[in-house]
Structure 1
Amino acid sequence: MLSSAIRLVCRHMRPNSKKNIKLYSVATQPLVVPDPDGTVQASPKLEKLYEEITSLNMIEVAQFSELLKVRLNLKDVPMGAVVSTSAAAQEEEEEVAQTVKTSFTVKLMKFDEKQKVALIKEVKNLLDGMNLVQAKKFVESAPAVVKTDIGKDEADKLKEALSKVGAECVID
């Protein structure tokens, strides 16, 4: 939140001001560099500021943001216009975009009443540890989750098997 505020502040400052030029150079430099053991050393002033900002509630954060906008004469910037400059953030966004869903859920939405008996038998055979009474209750409770956390192939096979006996299934 604070780094976004710093970027926002720096973006809207006048570059011809000496004070503002100094802020630009500070904002592009890392303020705190972690030690090799992972600890972070910061000045007492920064530590105090960090403690005060992290103790704010959401209403106070909104008020603080508005105060910065007014006092620093900042314009509202659309969220899409704020661009992350760190390479790590860009790599993380690319990884999220490339993630492939590997866990699926098969849901029984509804079924054909004429094939209810065949569906009950198929559910009993497909689901481990289910007897006919449980399978009947399960089928009648549609919509219901048949299986969760399964692979795409298994989900497709399960959906196909249930569809053959009059069930309408959805894979999420």
Structure 2
Amino acid sequence: MQITRLALRQITRHIQLQRMYSAAAPAAVSGAEKLVPPAPEGAAKPPNPKLDSIVTNIAALNLLEVAELSSLLKQKLNLPETAFAPQFAAGPARAAADDEEEVAPKKVQTSFTVKLVKFDDKQKVALIKEVKNLLEGMNLVQAKKFVESAPTVVKQDIPKEEAEKLKEALSKAGAIIEIE
């Protein structure tokens, strides 16, 4: 019978694997169990059965039992009560809030709205004239309707300085103004 080179390589590889598995396995293990290959490098190793059962038992505990387990472990291992406090005192919600504050700085208001809340009836005419002068493209009739429709928005999305000037001018004319 003629053996090809490929067949010869396969046989030698098989023998090498058998030797490797038999050297790694303990002597008390039967022949069938010796042929179980080890886990390849980089792959997750199977968990230790003892540790796996402990994790399963802890996962089945309720919150009160977990707290009791924690205190027993601290007592058994002679750990001070404050050993875990700095990590857990603030809690995950506080840690998330700290992250949000770092990521999103507090917003500074840059645009304001000037609102005419109400006006003095005695100074209505002066207020109408002031509104006509301050707001572009408004005639007396429009200014009168605008003033009488109070509370209403005078101007939106304006800088603070302009809002303050507008408030001051309209307040002198008898209006009660709010800046939002």
TM-score by length of 1: 0.51
The size of the alignment, in residue pairs, is: 101
Query: Aligned equivalents of 1:112 and 1:123: distance in 2?
Result: 14
Of the three residues 76, 91, 101, the one matched with 2:102 is 91
Query: Aligned equivalents of 1:20 and 1:119: distance in 2?
Result: 78
Specify whether residues 139 and 20 from structure 1 end up closer, same or farther in structure 2 by C-alpha distance, changes over 3 A only.
farther
Greater radius of gyration (CA): 2
Query: Aligned equivalents of 1:117 and 1:138: distance in 2?
Result: 12
Q: Give me the CA root mean square deviation.
A: 2.9
Specify whether residues 137 and 88 from structure 1 end up closer, same or farther in structure 2 by C-alpha distance, changes over 3 A only.
same
Specify whether residues 92 and 114 from structure 1 end up closer, same or farther in structure 2 by C-alpha distance, changes over 3 A only.
same
| Residue 112, structure 1, aligned to residue 124, structure 2 | no
| Residue 138, structure 1, aligned to residue 146, structure 2 | yes
Q: Deviations over 1:52-80 (max 9, x none)?
A: xxxxxxxxxxxxxxxxxxx87358xxxx8
Query: Aligned equivalents of 2:137 and 2:131: distance in 1?
Result: 11
Residue 5 of structure 2: aligned partner: none
Query: Aligned equivalents of 2:139 and 2:156: distance in 1?
Result: 19
Give runs of aligned pairs for residues 118-129 of structure 1, distance below 5 A.
118-129=126-137
The Cα of 1:127 is off from its aligned counterpart by: 0.5
Specify whether residues 92 and 143 from structure 1 end up closer, same or farther in structure 2 by C-alpha distance, changes over 3 A only.
same
Indicate conservation of the 8 Å contact 1:84/1:90, yes or no: no
The Cα of 1:92 is off from its aligned counterpart by: 2.0
Q: Deviations over 1:92-113 (max 9, x none)?
A: 24x0x3x210010000011111
| Residue 159, structure 1, aligned to residue 167, structure 2 | yes
Structure 1 residues not aligned, in runs of 5+:
1-16, 24-70
Query: Aligned equivalents of 2:116 and 2:164: distance in 1?
Result: 13
Per the alignment, in what secondary structure is the counterpart of residue 83 of structure 1?
Answer: helix
Per the alignment, in what secondary structure is the counterpart of residue 100 of structure 1?
Answer: coil
Structure 2 residues not aligned, in runs of 5+:
1-53, 65-89
